A and B are shown apart, each in its own frame.
Chain A
Amino acid sequence: MKRVLVVVLAVVASAGLIGLLVYGLGSRADDVSIEQALVRGERPAAPSRELPVLGESATRSIADLRGKVVVLNFWASWCGPCKVEAPVLDRAQKRLERAGTGTVLGVTRDDATTDSLKFVRDQSITYPSLRDVDTKLARDYGSTKVPETFVIDARGRIADVLRGQITQQRLDEALSKALQ
């Protein structure tokens, strides 16, 4: 009886350790479920969270922008490619704003407020940004790096994903998909 108990405990402990190992490895794997859905021709619902607006005391969410195309861009001030693509995003913001069809919405991660605000000033960014302090929104999108951009249509569904630095041409393609 005693031996059985010891064996059961050993098995439970081993299973627990293996479980933790599998969980650790699994949680580090890239989440590509959005890309997979897009390949199948589906448009997954865009996750939304109420987050603080950078430089303001207010909060805002993607759900608040339903009815408009949203170019959701995860960025950080220390990220070189984010600096390079900022003018492309700002041009898109001005175009969408003029047409009244949408907006660019930045989301900062792993970045201090003062550094983010300095980046906004230095790059003359005109679109608003939210602060994803705990990177919960980023995780909802399977986003682990910066920059990453998700183009969301007016129905609140993800129309395209652009991982890494965007180009004008690639963003235009994604926007025309979302505006269809």
Chain B
Amino acid sequence: MRRAALLLAFVAALLAPVPATAVAQRPSLPDIENEVMCVSCEIPLNIAESAQADQQRNFIRTLIAQGRSKEQIKTALVTEYGEDVLALPEGDGFGITAYLIPFALVALLAGGLVVLLPRWRRRTAAGIGEADAPALSEAESSRLDDELARYER
């Protein structure tokens, strides 16, 4: 009986509604500053120091005080300052392509190097060992043997 009561209490605790504050977290200025640009200085807002950046921060603070969500604040920023205010690309069309192309090109170059470098090294090593090395004359050969023998002593 006691065990059943404990089990019931445990299930009830699991099903209890989570407090609203834990679900809908209020956005903070640093949290938003990381993801938006100072539009006049063209650097992230969290490192920008200018009159325009300060006004932009005040605008964000006002919206936070009004209880707006992070997404609502970002939408309001775009309405007031244009698309360039977003530091991260929007997930569609040219915005995302413009960010991905440089990474794709660097990956392509790195891939090419990974494939080609070992081949070039193998070929160079093989070339030095066989074809390109000049043959030793008899005198050079005996001198090399003498040097090696002296070294081993």
Closest chain A residue, CB of each to CB of B77: A112
Q: Mark B25-60, 1 if CB is under 8 A from A, else 0.
A: 000000000000001100000000011101110010
Among A10, A115, A134, point to the contact of B55 (Cβ < 8 A). A115
Interface residue tally on A, bucketed by range: 20 to 34
- B79: chain A residues at CB < 8 Å are 133
Give the distance in Å from the alpha carbon of A78 to the alpha carbon of B106 in the complex.
40
The answer to the question of B101 belonging to the interface, with a C-beta cut-off of 8 Å to chain A, is yes
**Cβ of A153 to closest chain B Cβ, rounded Å:** 30
Docked complex: A75-89 residues within 8 A CB-CB of B: 76-80
Interface residue tally on B, bucketed by range: 20 to 34
**Cβ of B52 to closest chain A Cβ, rounded Å:** 4
The answer to the question of A113 belonging to the interface, with a C-beta cut-off of 8 Å to chain B, is yes
**Cβ of B100 to closest chain A Cβ, rounded Å:** 12
Docked complex: A28-62 residues within 8 A CB-CB of B: none
Give the distance in Å from the alpha carbon of A112 to the alpha carbon of B82 in the complex.
10
The answer to the question of B80 belonging to the interface, with a C-beta cut-off of 8 Å to chain A, is yes
Q: In the complex, are the beta carbons of A78 and B105 less than 8 A apart? A: no
- A77: chain B residues at CB < 8 Å are 55
Q: In the complex, are the beta carbons of A20 and B101 less than 8 A apart? A: yes
- A14: chain B residues at CB < 8 Å are 109
Closest chain A residue, CB of each to CB of B59: A112
The answer to the question of A179 belonging to the interface, with a C-beta cut-off of 8 Å to chain B, is no
Q: In the complex, are the beta carbons of B109 and A112 less than 8 A apart? A: no
Q: In the complex, are the beta carbons of B82 and A76 less than 8 A apart? A: no
Among B52, B56, B84, point to the contact of A135 (Cβ < 8 A). B84
Give the distance in Å from the alpha carbon of A120 to the alpha carbon of B39 in the complex.
21
Q: In the complex, are the beta carbons of A133 and B82 less than 8 A apart? A: yes
**Cβ of B87 to closest chain A Cβ, rounded Å:** 15
Task: List 28 interface pairs A-B (beta carbons < 8 Å), by A numbering.
Answer: A6-B115, A10-B112, A13-B105, A13-B109, A13-B112, A16-B101, A16-B105, A17-B102, A17-B106, A20-B105, A76-B40, A78-B51, A79-B51, A80-B51, A110-B40, A110-B52, A110-B81, A111-B52, A111-B55, A111-B80, A112-B80, A113-B80, A133-B79, A133-B80, A133-B82, A134-B82, A134-B83, A135-B84
Using A110-B81, A112-B56, A134-B83 as known contacts, list a sample of 17 further A-B pairs with CB atoms less than 8 Å apart, ordered by residue number in A.
A6-B112, A6-B116, A10-B109, A17-B102, A17-B106, A20-B101, A78-B54, A79-B51, A80-B51, A110-B39, A111-B52, A111-B80, A113-B80, A133-B79, A133-B82, A134-B84, A135-B82
